[in-house]
Amino acid sequence: MKKISFVIPCYRSSKTLPGVVAEIEETMQKLPDYRHEIVLINDCSPDDTFETIRQLCRENKRITGISLAKNFGQHAALMAGFHHVSGDIVICLDDDGQTPACEADRLIRAIEDGADVAYARYAHKHHSGFRNFGSRVNEVMTRVMLGKPKDLYVSSYFAARRFVVEEMMHYENSYPYVIGLVLRTTKNIVNVDVNHRDRQAGESGYTMKKLMALWFNGFTAFSVKPLRIATAAGVVCAVCGFLYGIYTIIKKIFIQPPGLVTGFSALMSVIVFMGGMLMLMLGLVGEYMGRVYISMNSSPQFVIREVVGKEAWEQADLTKEDTEE
């Protein structure tokens, strides 16, 4: 009998999480051919989310609760969860109830039909305008920078085979980007149409700052295209400067009246433009070098403060057995 592992990063979700877990349990009762477990990762939420997770673990022996020592972000929380799953198929979904756990069977069916990864695709998304804008930017970024196929839709609700998750876990650097890890692991990825719901309570944990950091992680951790774009921009600027120099000489000799001094504003525009381009390129190179430096210093991808529930009980049982022996 195959096992399904549900991994849910949690942040400010004390009100919605019990409903998500209940929906998973109800869904899995309709799939008697599968066993399942649930891994809930508290990404250092400032509310009582982890207390809610503790209570859920006491009520359900299939749940493992993990609390991170600080807010590492959704993708790092997923990576932490991946290190505590044991299922043949891993399903990741959100904690706010917008990703319908009742339709997990569609993702499972896609995996059983031969796909390595199955992403949920929504006909209509019930996000705010800000989140929809962020999704569009993420779509363009993953396609241009990471080589995502144009017809592939990626989301936070997906299922993956065990070997995909194990390969993703080999990435130990400080800036995980789950979509990038999936795309570099396999090309056997499909979409499955599911419904998208209105948010049940609260607001999205993604701010503009967090979205910008996520996008930056994506194209600096898994692509060198920004460096190539900077190189191309440098070449274009050099060619434009050369052509402008020739134009200036021709204008000076053949067009400009004798004694008329011109060109100061044009010169300043060129200097400011070139200075801005140089600063942009130096900043980009510095960002790459900074990330290499942080990775060399072994900055943690995540730090687990506490584990409760299923895994903690199993570890306690093993310790007890070793003591008795």
Give the pLDDT score at 197.
75
Give the pLDDT score at 80.
95
| Rounded CA separation 39/25 (Å) | 13
| Rounded CA separation 17/15 (Å) | 6
Are the beta carbons of 63 and 38 closer than 8 angstroms?
yes
Amino acid at 167: E
State mean pLDDT over 35-46: 95
Residue 122 pairs with which residues in a beta bridge? 194
Give the pLDDT score at 115.
97
Domain boundaries, the chain: 2-223+299-324, 225-296
Residue 180's CB: how many other CB atoms inside 10 A? 24
Evaluate if residue 73 carries a pLDDT over 60.
yes
Evaluate if residue 282 carries a pLDDT over 80.
no
Q: What percent of the chain has pLDDT over 70?
A: 72
- pTM (2 decimals)? 0.75
| Rounded CA separation 24/101 (Å) | 6
Structure tokens at 194: 């599911």
According to CATH, what is the number of the domain 2-223+299-324? 3.90.550.10
Are the beta carbons of 122 and 132 closer than 8 angstroms?
no
Are the beta carbons of 5 and 36 closer than 8 angstroms?
yes
Evaluate if residue 320 carries a pLDDT over 80.
no
State mean pLDDT over 46-70: 94
Residue 38 pairs with which residues in a beta bridge? 6, 63
Evaluate if residue 318 carries a pLDDT over 50.
no
Q: Lowest mean pLDDT: which of 4-13, 147-156, 248-257? A: 248-257
Q: Lowest mean pLDDT: which of 48-52, 89-93, 147-151, 286-290? A: 286-290
State mean pLDDT over 90-97: 93
Structure tokens at 217: 């992680």
Are the beta carbons of 27 and 104 closer than 8 angstroms?
yes
Q: Token pair 């942080």 is at which residue? A: 294
